[in-house]
Structure 1
Amino acid sequence: MSTLELHVDIGVPVDTAWETLHRVENYPRFVEGVRGARTEAGGRAHLDVEAGGRAREVEAELTDRGEHVMEWLTTGDPAMTGSFSVQPIDRDHTRIQARLEYDPATVRDIFGGPKGFAQTNAIERLVRSDLEHFKEYLERG
């Protein structure tokens, strides 16, 4: 398993960032490859994802842990787990910490893409880009 941790500082209050993370239906606006998303009963989310030219449906369970920590895990392939931690910097600024645990070989088998270290680099670039898109989405209002 590989673990990736990245963060981005955003110019919005912590509650705004926290509430936006919970609006799964807006994920296509800032998460690369997500074509559709919806919240389902029981803290579940359904995502229609396209990556590496392949379309897939991904189901995940979302759970709030403590103050401003949301954990998630996929319920099928690819097996991934992660979390978002939303921390106030000051009244108008927030740090979003993203953590992702995944098996690069499994992700490659399901979505295609490069092998080995290149796959890990591609995933890191994608997550970094998604965090920047989230920042832009929030700061635009």
Structure 2
Amino acid sequence: MSGVIEHVDVAVPIRTAYDQWTQFEEFPHFMEGVREVRQLSDTMTHWTVEIAGVKREFDAEITEQLPDERVAWRSTGGTEQAGVVTFHRLDPSTTRVSLQLEFEPHGVVERAGDRLGIVDRRAKGDLERFKQFIERRGQETGAWRGKVDRPQP
């Protein structure tokens, strides 16, 4: 498994940053290579992505969601990845958004891209584009304030 850890500080309150992040279908507006995300249920999403000309589709399950704190997920079949985004209040109008992503590169192109740091740069770019997206709007496009408890082993 490979991993990425990145963060960005956004000039919006924590609730605004968190609420926007829960709008998964908006991800193609700021995530490079994400063509579509469909919300199938409160805890399931379907992703269509394209990386280095390779198109992949997979489902991801939200494994934990705590309003204004964290959203964690893992893929279910196909692409192997898991991650968590956490939200940290720096002051009343600034939030640190932190991303931790683990993934298993498949095939020659993905393994080469991983070694060249492409995923790291893409994650950093996605967070910067999220910052621009939410700061330009100044408010979220929607919100889901539900809670998903981490499954017990």
- TM-score above 0.5, yes or no: yes
C-alpha contact (below 8 Å) 2:113/2:119 kept by paired residues: no
Partner of 2:128: 132
Gaps of 5+ in 1: none
Cα separation, 2, equivalents of 1:42 and 1:12: 25
Q: CA deviation at 1:96?
A: 0.3
**Residues 1:103 and 2:98 aligned together:** no
**Residues 1:41 and 2:41 aligned together:** yes
C-alpha contact (below 8 Å) 1:34/1:48 kept by paired residues: yes
Aligned ranges for residues 2-21 of structure 1 at < 5 Å?
2-21=2-21
C-alpha contact (below 8 Å) 1:51/1:111 kept by paired residues: no
**Larger helix proportion of the pair:** 1
Q: CA deviation at 1:3?
A: 2.3
Q: CA RMSD in A?
A: 1.8
C-alpha contact (below 8 Å) 1:52/1:113 kept by paired residues: no
Cα separation, 2, equivalents of 1:101 and 1:15: 26
Query: Structure 1 runs of 4+ off > 2 angstroms?
Result: 63-67, 110-117
1:56–1:16 distance in 2 versus 1, CA, 3 Å:
same
Q: Which one-letter code corresponds to 1:4 in the other structure?
A: V
Number of paired residues? 136
Gaps of 5+ in 2: 138-153
Cα separation, 1, equivalents of 2:75 and 2:7: 21
**Quick one: higher RCO (CA 8 Å, sep 6+), 1 or 2?**
2
**Residues 1:117 and 2:132 aligned together:** no
Q: Which one-letter code corresponds to 1:129 in the other structure?
A: G
Q: CA deviation at 1:112?
A: 4.1
Identity of aligned residues (%): 32
CA displacement 1:92-138 (0-9 Å, x = unmatched): 0000010011223x2xx2864626622xx111001000000100000
Q: CA deviation at 1:35?
A: 1.1
Partner of 2:91: 90
Normalising to structure 1: TM-score of the pair?
0.88
